[in-house]
Structure 1
Amino acid sequence: MAAEAEGTPCWADATFSDLDGAKRFYGEVLGWTYGDSLPEFGNYTQAYVDGKAVAALMPPVPGQDVPTAWCLYLASPDAAATAAKVRENGGTVLVEPMRVGEFGTMVLASDPGGAAFGVWQAGTHEGFEARGVPGAFSWAEIFTREPEKADAFFPAVFGYGVKRMDDDAVDFRLYDLGADPVMGRMKMTEDFPPEVPPYLNVYFTVADCDAAVEKAKALGAQLRFGPMTMPFGRFAALTDPQGAAFSLIDGTTTEGEKPQLTDVS
């Protein structure tokens, strides 16, 4: 598998104080199995669907207060150069370029509105080995209270084109690389409590959204929105039992026509 084009979502991981609990939860909801934890890399534990790597879970580093949240990584051919572009365009580098053995080089950063994300320069670990199948990553959206800043920052750093969804009910943009949409950007409304920070929302594919939601709720997750059917699939937004936000989507169940998009790059 070739390394992903710059700016493509290529990996996701999350930190949990109860690693075993997180493994049980996502194993039940998404059908994940797990590789061995890597003690030399802080017990980083990869998750698999049908033998293909789809995400990773890890415990917090001792002494560090790390929020429980999913982190989406965007591909880069040069993590140090991307970190420089983050700074040049008003973002913040939270973790400087750091070599992770032979696997690759990572950066953690946030956009000017405070939405955190990762950057990944692939070594032997090139990212998702499966997408869009049950249990695997499907899509991601930036939720921000400062959409104008996001719309300037991410295209400047990653070269995205930007399209506006022609719908007066929501402030939504689509970021793309040529013809390939890679990520959405949604303005956070007053429906979001003020204590909820901006974030990159990760969608995982499921075969049956309603059944997956019921299973997640039975295991202690909180349903925040949905399930709802739209032209792109039936989806729901949840918070897992340890407080990490994520979404589930069944892309085979759709309703309505896809909205018109206007190029505003």
Structure 2
Amino acid sequence: MSRSSGDVFGAPVCVSLATHDLDPVEEFYGNVLGWRFRRSRLGEEFRVACADGVPVAGIAAVVPRLGVPMAWTPYFAVGDADVTAARIRERGATTAIGPLAFATGRAALAADRDGAVFGFWEGEVGPERWSDRDGPVWVELKARDAFAAAVFYGEVLDWAADRPGALDVAYEQDHVVVRRHHHTVARIDAGAVEAAPDPRTRPRWEVHFAVPDLDAVADRAVHYGGRVICAVSSSSMERRVTLSDRAGTPFTITEATDRP
């Protein structure tokens, strides 16, 4: 059964790639990440990417029509898109596009006060979404100030609200962790610099895809026309590296490590 976005409000329910053309995107990510694609009920311009039969992402050929940049963007569930858009504007941020009506709901694209782009969705949410369990996708905000960013998104998306179903927000050292049912669904890290020459250090939402073999995936990305943007970084929990696809759109892959 499908649920309403109001049932999982505040949680990321989709990551979507805005692109010019579906075919080369399907070819690249199919070869690199092993995804298979099916049509979406949102319309002819949309596809759903599946890994082992589980939906993990959306792809939308909307760049020419909407004039948006090619980018991976997280979309957060909201109960009322108009209320969310008003909250964003009231706090000095921007609603760039929408809310626009689609077959199963309404979507909008916004930027927070530091310029990090995100989307929000009001409508039907499928039962297979990855927002309420540890899954193959997660999102991370590189923010100038993690605390200030958490306050902004908390007020806009009803994080940690005094109502049933609200997400938990925890401040842990220099970052913020957002959880649903004890599963981490988003993270906010401090240290981004607004005027930095390297776009990877500017405020932005990063989309992470979990893979079983990071080195093999990175090699395939280069083989099929992408590139490695930075060196592999390692921690006690994971290895990660940021890649770009053939069009130059960045995304991050992570591999869990077994180190204690």
Match of 2:100 in 1: 98
User: Which residue matches 1:218?
Assistant: 223
* Correspondence for 2:61: 59
Deviates more, 1:139-148 or 1:211-220: 139-148
1:46 aligns with 2:48: yes
Structure in which a larger fraction of residues adopt helix = 2
Q: 1:63 to 1:49 in 2, by over 3 A?
A: closer
Residue deviations 1:190-218 (CA, integer Å, cap 9, x gap): 99525565321011111111211111122
1:156 is aligned to 155
> Counterparts in 2 of 1:190-205, with a 5 A limit?
193-194=197-198, 198-205=203-210
Structure 1 residue 174 displacement after superposition? 2.4
**Residue pair 2:218, 2:228 contacting (<8 A) in 1 also:** yes
Cα RMSD (Å): 2.9
Residue segments in structure 1 that go unaligned for 5+ positions in a row: 257-265
Matched residue of 1:84: which SS?
helix
Q: Which whole-Å CA distance do the structure 2 matches of 1:178 and 1:88 have between them?
A: 30
Aligned residue among 233, 239, 244 for 2:238? 233
Whether the 8 Å contact between 2:20 and 2:63 is mirrored in structure 1 is no
Query: What is the distance in 2 between the residues matched to 1:96 and 1:127?
Result: 26
1:136-173 superposed Cα distances (whole Å, 9 cap, x missing partner): 32x2111234545423311222224544443xxxx433
Equivalent-residue separation in structure 1 for 2:214 and 2:196 (angstroms): 23
Q: Is the 8 A contact 1:72 1:118 kept in 2?
A: yes
User: CA deviation digits over 1:7-39, x for unaligned, max 9?
Assistant: 11110111222422111111112111111377x
Q: Which residue of 2 is the match for residue 255 of structure 1?
A: 259
Judging changes above 3 Å, is the alpha-carbon distance between structure 1 residues 19 and 70 closer, same or farther for their aligned structure 2 residues?
same
Higher alpha-carbon deviation: 182-191 or 234-243? 182-191
- Per the alignment, residue 260 of structure 1 pairs with none
Q: Taking structure 1 as reference, are residues 17 and 97 closer, same or farther at Cα in structure 2, changes over 3 Å only?
A: closer
Once the two structures are superposed, what CA deviation does each residue of 1:92-136 show, in whole Å capped at 9, x if it has no partner? Answer: 1112322211x2221211111111101112326567269655xx3
Are residue 141 (structure 1) and residue 152 (structure 2) matched? no
In structure 2, C-alpha distance between the alignment counterparts of 1:132 and 1:249, rounded to whole Å: 13
Counterpart of 2:80? 78
SS in 2 for 1:123: strand
Q: Which segments of 5 or more consecutive residues in structure 2 lack a partner in the other structure?
A: 161-167
Matched residue pairs, number?
246
User: Could you tell me which amino acid in structure 2 is paired with residue 215 of structure 1?
Assistant: R
Give the direction of change, closer, same or farther, for the CA distance of 1:113–1:75 in structure 2 (3 Å limit). same
User: What is the DSSP-based 3-state SS (H/G/I as helix, E as strand, rest coil) of the residue aligned with 2:230?
Assistant: strand
- The answer to whether the Cα contact below 8 Å between 1:105 and 1:123 also exists between their aligned partners in 2 is no
Separation (CA, whole Å) in 1 of partners of 2:183 and 2:51: 24
Give the 3 Å change call, closer, same or farther, for CA 226–118 of structure 1 in structure 2.
same
Amino acid at match of 1:113: D
Deviation for aligned residue 1:60: 3.1
TM-score, normalised by the number of residues in structure 2: 0.81
Query: How far is 1:61 from its partner?
Result: 4.5
Q: CA deviation at 1:70?
A: 0.4
Residues 192, 126 of structure 1: CA spacing in aligned structure 2 closer, same or farther, 3 A cutoff?
farther
Q: What percent identity do the matched residue pairs reach? A: 30
Query: Structure 1 residue aligned with 2:31, among 14, 21, 28?
Result: 28
Mark the CA change 1:178 to 1:86 in structure 2 (over 3 Å): closer, same or farther.
farther
Equivalent position of 2:120 in the other structure? 119
